Structure 1
Amino acid sequence: MDHHRAYDATLLISGIQNVKSYVAWNNFLLVSLNNRDLIKFQITGDYQKLKYQVKQVDIRPKFTKKPITQMEVIKPVNKLLVLHGNVVEIYELKTIKLQKVLCKKNAVLFSYNKKKSLCISTKKELWIFKWKELGFEKHNTMAIPEAPKTMDWFKASKICLGFKRQYCVINLKNGTFKSLFTTGKNGIPISTKISNQEILLGKDKISIFKDPNGMALRAYGINWVEIPLKIVYFPPYLIGFFANKLRVRTLYTKQLIQDLNIPNPNLCFSMAKKDNHSFAYIANKKGIWRLDEIPLLYQIDMLSFEKNYEEALKLCELIPNLEENKKNTKSNDIKQQYANHLFVTRKFNKAMDFFQQSNCDPRIVLSLYPFLVEENLEKQLKIPFFEQTELNEQEQHEAILSLIDYLTQQRSLINDKEIEKKEQILKIIDTTIVKAYIKTNYLLVKHFLKLPNSCDLEQCEKLLKENNYEDEIILLYQSNGKHLQALELISKKINETSNIDDLFEYLNFLDAKNLDLIFKYAKEIYKYDSKKCLLVFLNNKGSSNRTLPRDQVKKYLEDNIPDLLMPYLESIIYEEKDNTPDFNNHLLILYFKEYEKLNTNLKKETENENLKQLVESKNEIQTKMNKFIKTTHHYQAEKMLTIFPEDDLLEERAILLSRVKQHELALDIYINKLNNIEKAEKYCHTHYKPDSNTENIYIILIKQLLFQLSDKSNINKNDYSYNRTYSDYDNNYNDDDDDEEEHNLKLQTITRIMKKYYSKIDPLKIIPILPNNIPISNIFDYLNLRIKNILKLKRRKLVQKNLHKSNYLNLRLKNSKKGGKSLTIDENTLCQVCGKRIGDSIIGIFPNGVFAHLSCIENKNKCPKTKQDFTKKLNKYY
């Protein structure tokens, strides 16, 4: 029984007997009879109504010496190829006039391809012809073991031959043969060309697909009920010739499509095309039949009606590319029908796959789930829905699981598109997903609501409250921007459980747009955990990836939670590298105020335990302050100096002075107030830079030490001018009041510093300010090291000078060698261009050694003998 009609078979010409071969083109049919007559018919009519008019337009009695066994029309050049009695001839198509005999004897078969190549097989050879302007010209010959029964081109360079016992592929470029497989028990090769890359070869009842390399192309073959006499490819179907009928099968699904009742068909088969309509001719004892292709769209509709959706989709792929929109529309329509059919037959997963491929409105798919969607959805949207199917509880569960996968993919696709009513569709999809999760796996509801979604707030809120899903309601509010409602619920939970984790996570989720809510509920976290409260205001990787406006946060903490202000500023400065001067200043002021507070409390406290704790806290805050002043450069030192006292935090004040380049005052603190020479030296080492305003910092240090040897009360200790000498200090020195031993120790310290840092202390600046009575032996080491250092530098400069000089001379020598080639010319030397003697004439010489009279040189940059161009080379030298 036919599955559907692929072709209409019409007896076109009855009463014609003994048909040997025939060929069709446009609306003409050329028929060769067994008695050697050649008849030309013209066929007109309406293929849709299957009514044709046949007119005999020409007849050539006894056209050839023997019956024609093979004919082929070459439309691009309007030629007719004819094989009769082992002879191959070429004729003009319109006049059927002989043009040329291509093979005069032994021809058994020919095959033509669209690349205008022709292969004629004789009993022992293959003759290859190429089409030129004037006709076919013989190109090549190749030996073969026997005459082939079938012959088909693969590409321009390969041909598949079917011999009596086996098939093989021959490479025309190198003449190699590749055997494929035997022809089977009956020894009859059956070959059908599908395309330039594929051929179908028969072995008994099986047909196998092969590529040009002889490899199997498909994992399956075509199985026939009996051995076919012949197989032809009439796209998109295969037609098998049998004794009593023709059987039509699909190429892809191998399904039987139609049986054509044409008994004892002639093995000749000729296809043609006119006005995009394909047809073919087959002869038998009754006459000549015409096969008309049923229009693809009509076949597709028949297959869909019969619920043969897979075959219908295969036919959709064959709709021409010119009708791409029609192809897509028809294909999507069939996929929807197929998907609905699969759903009704309880194949839910596969149904959703085809719904996905059909690009249909997902709301139509939801019509299959009345237990999930609103009752009035169909009326509300005015969309033609599918008929609903009764499902039991287990089937509903399976159907919902398939729907979840489908809707998840759909929401992703819709988000990436610009479509009409996008928000409405997403709202229905996301709301349905929540309902589906509640029915199948409620644990996934929370996971889904954490993602950005478009759920219907009212529906989902009602549904979640009915199921007592409190956490999920909070996530629903959160995803819909209802943060106040969510925070009120969380706050209510805290009163019951004292667990602030949910509130902490929620506040970290909020961004700067909801700063008021963060400020409002942060206090609640502070009641339970101050560290977590601090994290709410920071840009922590572990909690969120948002930055709150720091100036507003600072002001809020200062006014409401002052205990967190210092750790907040420490975090944004140290961890988040905020270099804002205002923040740095504020932190330093906080350190100072905390230090003063602890210092005040320390003076009031009398209990030993509290004293110890206060001392530890004071030391800790001072250490922090000291580290901050040393390591940070973004506070305003000038401003801080007005705040810090002059009689406390001396080292910190010294660092601040160094930041404003007040090195004299800073060193005064280290030497005269802290009495710490080691730190003073370290300070000088840190700030010394040659050829800058700190190159004399060690001289300032020594001057500070000289103050300690004098009566400081009569001298301005901030006067460090270099024109002052030690006598200015010495005049104020009183032997009676000064301790001689201490005095000597101070001098030793000065001479030690001079010796240690000899390379950084200029003798012309230090010697004039030293005491007049200082023994020369005390500064001998300094002077000795300094002189050695000067000599060392002098030697180094001299070496560098000589190295530069040597390098310069080497370059001069190198250049002189490049440009100093010599040439000896005597009275017998000949010009290399004209061949005459040079004599006392002016000559020109080129870098390759060629020389000639100046008059013989046409171009001074080009050698007249070798023609080599020296333009770049000559420019380099000169």
Structure 2
Amino acid sequence: MEVKALHAFDAVPIHTAPDCSCLGVWGHSVLVGLNNGDLQILKPEEHAAALTAAGFTTQTRRGLTSGPVLQLQTDEARSMLFCMGKQGVRVYRLPRLLLKAEVAGTRGCRAFAWHSETRTLATAYRKRVYFFTYEGLEFVPSREVPLSDTVVCLAFVGAQLVVGLSGEYCCIAPAQSGVAHLAQHASASPCVTPVSASQVLLSLGAESGLFRLPDGPRPPHQTASLAWSSPPASVAVAAPFALGALGPDAVEARPIQALSGAALVQTLALKGEAGGAEPAGADAGKETSAASSGTSGPALLCPWPLADGSCLVARAGGRLVRLSQRPALAQAAALLELGEYEECLAVAAAAPAADLEARRRLEDVAHLRYAAVLFRAGEFEGSMLHFGASGAASTLALLRLLPSLASPGHLEALAAQAGEELGAPDASPAAEPQGEEFARAVAVVLPHLLSQRNREAGASPGGVPSPAAVAVDTAVLRALLALPDSGALLHFIQRPNHVDLEEGRAALRAAGRYSELVALYQGRGRHSSALALLESLSVRPEQLEVPAQGASAELRGLPGAWAAVRYLLGLGADQLSLISTHSRWILEADPDAGLQMFTSLPVDPGALLPILNSHAPALAGSYLEEVLASGRAAPAVYQQQLAALYLRHVVQHASEDPGDPEARGLAETAKLKQLILHASHLRLDSLLALLPSHQLLELRAAILERMGRHHEALRLYVHQLGQPAAAEAYCDRVYGRQVAAAAAARRKPSGGAPPEPASHIEALHLPMLRLWLDRTGQRQDGWSDPQPSDIYLLLIQVLLEARHGAGDGDGGDGDGGSGTAAPAQGQAPATGAVSLERWAEVAELLGRKRGAIQPVHALELLPRELPLRAGLRFLRSALWGAQEERRGAAVRRSLRQAEAVGLAAQLAGAHKRLIALVPERLCTLCYKRVGLSAFVAFPDGRLAHYSCFKRHDGRGSGAVEALKAAVQAA
């Protein structure tokens, strides 16, 4: 075991008593028992600066005992002095030393012990221990305990008596009759030294054992041991040290409970003449033997319970020396230099409150140094506990524990910034742990790195980061790289940090953590480098120097494109150059991701359309469709562009696929048709000019519908496309729009200028005038004003036309003329030009549209030669329709009547009231009882005679007026 020198006590000579036989203390006074039976009392001077030889006065009490004074003990609470001589134990009252009692039956006893709390005196005589109880005037024997061997010494430890026999130690409890064995010993001088109310030091030979005496049923047990250089003759306690007398001029001091593995020893060689005692210093390498030439016996030790933890030593020849403990901070500083950090912290904790600041500084240094020692020993958790407890902890001190987390440049910058840090660990520590131990060390250090990071952020908010902030953030990055990937590193880099870009990039590339490197680039504004790295991860991952690890390993292919999209969306609208540069590979890798990026960017479509047309023209239409639907593009500007894009695509498809002249298999065809029918900002004539003459007839019909050229559109459906059902659906759309426009016009408030007719209704009425007027421009008799149902009459005209009677169906006249006049009302057209099958179709159409066309008018359109069977469906539907209308009118009338009856019942219920009339009710007007007379009830519940009400009503009665006012208020 390593032995280290301890300097805890200073020796101060105070007196010379050549005939000294025993020692005792009473407050600041020293009691010296002499061999001739006298007692010397050394009292300190009132104004003495220190307890030295010059600071005491000596008084002598003659004849205290008939022989030598063998033992002294004081009870300061009762001001009593116990003195043992050959005649036994006597008790004196202090300070006048008047005899108070003489304990009977104690003559010849070898030792005694007094316990003040229980007022118990124990004496030892040969192989027995006798107990006495102090009753105020005398000591009354209470019991005796026989033992197995001769009693050598005894002392009270708390309320228990520990007895030292010739070969063992035992314990006697006051409430028990038995004797508990403590330990065997081979010491020539057994010694019992109380340490506390439950702990005792027992001399076992060359060592002393520290035993704990529990109050409960648990047996006593040894908790620690002290190894002396040689067996001590006596042992005293000056907490936290134990002192052993090894010879007449040699005293050894050791900690009672050592906290470290080293042996801390102070050996005091008290040599010299009576004029002064010289401490041997703190030389632990030289051990003093128990014997000393020219001496007659070992030194006497007596604890002196002063504030400085003193102890009295009576050397050979009667020279008295006071061993005073040095100040706690001085002891702690010495222990700090010895490297005994635990002992240093324990001693510093006992420093007085007046030295609080100095104590804190010392503890900060001790904690910091001890943390470095524990860290090198592999006790990482304990090391960080001490590091966190140190107020001198800094970023430099923490990084020196694991230098691989910081570059030499950062360490040099921190050292230059901090200068010589107090208590900083050695700049060249032992080798770092490797493998799993390194990961464990990093996991322990990381929380403290983050704590230092918070401190640096609070010390320099904003502005240029300090070298400490850069170093600690870079160290956090390296520490997270050393730990298993849990996403913490990516989260750390995505937040504001001061990681050194070059070192961070090198570390992340070496570990293959490219996702974190992208986040680092993004935080530093290196967007081009970040997007280039994402392109490599998505398109060319095999060309990377280190294979991708962690989250970046999942960015191959489509995930990488989506990651680039999210990155570009986070940049905003001011990075169009980056968007233009990197959108090409994104659109090639994943068109859906590229389209999502373009539609989500808050940029004017005019800036993005050229980029999209350059890299992916096929997606331009989808982009315009999305931005128009979301309202981020002006319809007046971009609806025409979208329609032109769709139309060019459809025309190209129709020209390349002769088997699909209408391009029905293309999704853009349906989108273009819906756009033509519903868009309000199209230049229809421009679109019509782009259409081929004999292809895409459905789109041509849709454009003609929006232009109001219904006659031409219907002829396309009926004669060229051969789709009467589509022509009927066409008429249904026109009819629905006309009805809705008429209803909206009726809902507008009356007054002012009449609303302008809708364009499609106006466009319909213009060609219909040629049906209502004859060739001379005069109105035919019996025709009413234009109605929404006239579109069906136009369809009937087209159906009744010869297939080639109006030309080739390429649009005809620009005004919708057909060359075939509609039949006048009341004059059915002849059936010679049209087959009966076509007339049957017309009859079925009239039957289906009986809600829009009056059956009477429709019947007049049918020729008289039409067979009844051909028009049977029309007649049946017309009759059923009239019957349904009558039935519906009857149902509505019944419902109205039922509603009226219900309202009448509710009105009667509202008028009916229930009034409880008791004999005590009085008239509000005459204040007489209402009784069985006719009365009037007011809405607020008050009653009045009917005669009183009629008599006062209309005469300006104040009561009636007040009552009416109250009723109105209610």
TM bucket (normalised to shorter chain) is: 0.5 to 0.7
| From 514, 517, 520, the counterpart of 1:473 | 517
CA change 1:496–1:397 in 2 (3 A) is closer
> What residue is the counterpart of 1:33 in the other structure?
34
Further displaced range: 96-105 or 246-255: 96-105
CA change 1:212–1:565 in 2 (3 A) is farther
> What residue is the counterpart of 1:127 in the other structure?
132
> What residue is the counterpart of 1:259 in the other structure?
267
1:160 Cα deviation (Å)? 3.4
SS in structure 1 of the partner of residue 11 of structure 2 = strand
Paired residues of 2:569 and 2:601 also in contact (CA < 8 A):
no
> What residue is the counterpart of 1:637 in the other structure?
none
CA change 1:470–1:291 in 2 (3 A) is closer
> What residue is the counterpart of 2:416 in the other structure?
379
User: Does 1:454 find its partner at 2:497?
Assistant: yes
The separation in 1 between residues aligned to 2:138 and 2:891, in whole angstroms, is: 115
CA change 1:523–1:165 in 2 (3 A) is farther
> What residue is the counterpart of 2:888 in the other structure?
716
SS in structure 2 of the partner of residue 246 of structure 1 = strand
Q: Aligned partner of 1:715: which letter?
A: R
CA change 1:44–1:63 in 2 (3 A) is same
SS in structure 2 of the partner of residue 39 of structure 1 = strand
> What residue is the counterpart of 1:791 in the other structure?
none
Q: Aligned partner of 2:313: which letter?
A: I
CA change 1:366–1:83 in 2 (3 A) is same
1:238 Cα deviation (Å)? 1.4
> What residue is the counterpart of 2:314 in the other structure?
283
Q: Aligned partner of 2:252: which letter?
A: R
Structure 2 stretches lacking a partner, 5+ long: 271-291, 542-555, 603-607, 613-618, 632-649, 671-731, 737-847, 849-879, 903-970
1:38 Cα deviation (Å)? 0.8
The separation in 2 between residues aligned to 1:80 and 1:562, in whole angstroms, is: 114
> What residue is the counterpart of 1:361 in the other structure?
394
Q: Aligned partner of 1:460: which letter?
A: E
The one-character-per-residue Cα deviations of 1:279-332 (angstroms, maximum 9, x if unpaired) are 221213322222122223223333333445454344334334664543332122
CA change 1:336–1:710 in 2 (3 A) is same
Paired residues of 2:508 and 2:517 also in contact (CA < 8 A):
yes
Q: Aligned partner of 2:347: which letter?
A: L
1:65 Cα deviation (Å)? 3.5
CA change 1:74–1:478 in 2 (3 A) is farther
> What residue is the counterpart of 1:411 in the other structure?
449
TM-score, scaled to structure 1: 0.53
Further displaced range: 231-240 or 409-418: 409-418
Q: Aligned partner of 2:226: which letter?
A: I
Q: What are the within-5 Å matches in structure 2 for residues 215-234 of structure 1?
A: 220-234=224-238
> What residue is the counterpart of 1:109 in the other structure?
112
Q: Aligned partner of 1:231: which letter?
A: V
SS in structure 2 of the partner of residue 289 of structure 1 = strand
Structure 1 stretches lacking a partner, 5+ long: 538-547, 551-555, 568-581, 583-600, 618-643, 649-672, 674-707, 727-763, 766-878
1:110 Cα deviation (Å)? 1.4
CA change 1:74–1:447 in 2 (3 A) is same
CA change 1:527–1:206 in 2 (3 A) is same
The separation in 2 between residues aligned to 1:215 and 1:186, in whole angstroms, is: 23
Q: Aligned partner of 2:15: which letter?
A: I
CA change 1:302–1:228 in 2 (3 A) is same
User: Does 1:499 find its partner at 2:557?
Assistant: yes
CA change 1:314–1:45 in 2 (3 A) is farther
SS in structure 1 of the partner of residue 247 of structure 2 = coil
Q: What are the within-5 Å matches in structure 2 for residues 382-461 of structure 1?
A: 382-384=419-421, 404=442, 407-414=445-452, 420-421=459-460, 424=466, 425-434=468-477, 448-451=489-492, 454-461=497-504
> What residue is the counterpart of 1:326 in the other structure?
358
> What residue is the counterpart of 2:924 in the other structure?
none
The separation in 1 between residues aligned to 2:332 and 2:496, in whole angstroms, is: 40
The separation in 2 between residues aligned to 1:151 and 1:549, in whole angstroms, is: 94
CA change 1:15–1:84 in 2 (3 A) is closer
Give aligned pairs, total: 592
User: Does 1:316 find its partner at 2:351?
Assistant: no
Q: What are the within-5 Å matches in structure 2 for residues 797-812 of structure 1?
A: none
> What residue is the counterpart of 1:737 in the other structure?
none
Q: What are the within-5 Å matches in structure 2 for residues 728-743 of structure 1?
A: none
Q: Aligned partner of 1:361: which letter?
A: S
The one-character-per-residue Cα deviations of 1:471-492 (angstroms, maximum 9, x if unpaired) are 1421323566877864564256
The one-character-per-residue Cα deviations of 1:14-40 (angstroms, maximum 9, x if unpaired) are 3522x2222224442111111110111
Q: Aligned partner of 1:477: which letter?
A: Y
The separation in 1 between residues aligned to 2:138 and 2:528, in whole angstroms, is: 90
Paired residues of 2:446 and 2:479 also in contact (CA < 8 A):
no
Paired residues of 1:21 and 1:68 also in contact (CA < 8 A):
yes
SS in structure 2 of the partner of residue 195 of structure 1 = coil
| From 15, 19, 39, the counterpart of 1:13 | 15
Q: Aligned partner of 1:257: which letter?
A: V
The separation in 2 between residues aligned to 1:126 and 1:507, in whole angstroms, is: 95
The separation in 1 between residues aligned to 2:388 and 2:410, in whole angstroms, is: 19
> What residue is the counterpart of 1:203 in the other structure?
204
Larger radius of gyration: 2
The separation in 1 between residues aligned to 2:601 and 2:120, in whole angstroms, is: 84
Paired residues of 2:375 and 2:383 also in contact (CA < 8 A):
yes
CA change 1:343–1:429 in 2 (3 A) is same
Aligned-residue RMSD, C-alpha: 6.1
The separation in 2 between residues aligned to 1:62 and 1:398, in whole angstroms, is: 78
The separation in 1 between residues aligned to 2:881 and 2:76, in whole angstroms, is: 122
Q: Aligned partner of 1:278: which letter?
A: G
> What residue is the counterpart of 2:327 in the other structure?
295
The one-character-per-residue Cα deviations of 1:764-813 (angstroms, maximum 9, x if unpaired) are 99xxxxxxxxxxxxxxxxxxxxxxxxxxxxxxxxxxxxxxxxxxxxxxxx
1:240 Cα deviation (Å)? 2.0
Q: What are the within-5 Å matches in structure 2 for residues 571-720 of structure 1?
A: 711-716=883-888, 719=891
The separation in 2 between residues aligned to 1:159 and 1:713, in whole angstroms, is: 122
The one-character-per-residue Cα deviations of 1:79-122 (angstroms, maximum 9, x if unpaired) are 43334446444433332233445666366411336xx3443113
TM-score, scaled to structure 2: 0.48
Q: What are the within-5 Å matches in structure 2 for residues 73-88 of structure 1?
A: 73-85=74-86, 87-88=88-89
The one-character-per-residue Cα deviations of 1:184-228 (angstroms, maximum 9, x if unpaired) are 245864322222232223333343332223657666422334433
CA change 1:463–1:510 in 2 (3 A) is same
The separation in 2 between residues aligned to 1:68 and 1:343, in whole angstroms, is: 58
CA change 1:444–1:185 in 2 (3 A) is same
CA change 1:390–1:367 in 2 (3 A) is closer
1:496 Cα deviation (Å)? 4.3
Identity, % of aligned positions: 16
CA change 1:495–1:549 in 2 (3 A) is closer
SS in structure 2 of the partner of residue 73 of structure 1 = strand
The separation in 2 between residues aligned to 1:220 and 1:44, in whole angstroms, is: 41
The separation in 2 between residues aligned to 1:169 and 1:565, in whole angstroms, is: 101
Paired residues of 1:236 and 1:251 also in contact (CA < 8 A):
yes
Paired residues of 1:430 and 1:453 also in contact (CA < 8 A):
no
Paired residues of 1:3 and 1:258 also in contact (CA < 8 A):
yes
Paired residues of 2:505 and 2:517 also in contact (CA < 8 A):
no
